[in-house]
Chain A
């Protein structure tokens, strides 16, 4: 129940295309859902995050869509660029719980020029 399942494991997209990464969870107590971006040789960095009281959050070319009833959330990268090539992790945590982030297994995104 503490797992966050992420798919696909890897994704190849052409420049200008849309990248979509999906995550699913079982524990309905999760109430904070961040996405982290990790470039090779670097530590992960927060990209965008959402609470379940909204169904969508957009920051520039990055959008999180959240479906509370389906217990799923996804990251959409519009107009994907080669500089977006990185590993993306979804995560979830519970307020007042163990207060740790549970990470998905990551998606390696490659954007071809």
Chain B
């Protein structure tokens, strides 16, 4: 069974569109994250939720909105997509925060044309 899963795996869309990426973890973890990895492989945290509560909200355009319907799911909705949003988006989860191992999903490769 996949521990952290993301859908879709690939997403190709036009500028200005709205899209969502879904993430689910079956590890029973309390904390979930969204990361953005750019073309240079730089990995940067965007958001973190602990038990459905937002605990980290980095400087991210407000076109990005996370939603956690329950502690096993963390979705990312992106409005008005821009070329610069093209990247790989990773969902991750951990039992707690700080020094707990983060388990990453396989990533969603977003290409905005």
Contacts and interface: CB of A to CB of B under 8 A. Distances in A.
**A and B from one complex:** yes
Interface of A: 32, 34, 38, 41-46, 49, 51, 87, 89, 93-96, 98-101, 103, 105-106, 108
Contacts, number: 58
A105 B41 contact: yes
Residue from A45, A51, A96, A98 with most neighbouring chain B CB atoms (10 Å) = A98
Contact of B56 (A32, A95, A98, A106): A98
Interface of B: 4, 40-45, 48, 55-56, 58, 90, 92, 97-99, 101-107
Given A43-B106, A99-B55, A108 B45 contact: no
Contacts of B102: 44, 46, 101
Contacts of A108: 41
Contact of A32 (B58, B98, B105): B98
Given A51-B99, A103-B43, 7 more contacts: A34-B101, A42-B106, A43-B90, A44-B90, A44-B102, A99-B55, A100-B45
Nearest to B6: A43
A67 B52 CA distance: 38
9 nearest interchain CB pairs? A43-B104, A99-B97, A32-B99, A103-B43, A106-B41, A46-B101, A99-B98, A44-B104, A100-B45
Contacts of B40: 105
Contacts of B55: 99
A46 B58 CA distance: 22
Contacts of B41: 38, 87, 105-106, 108
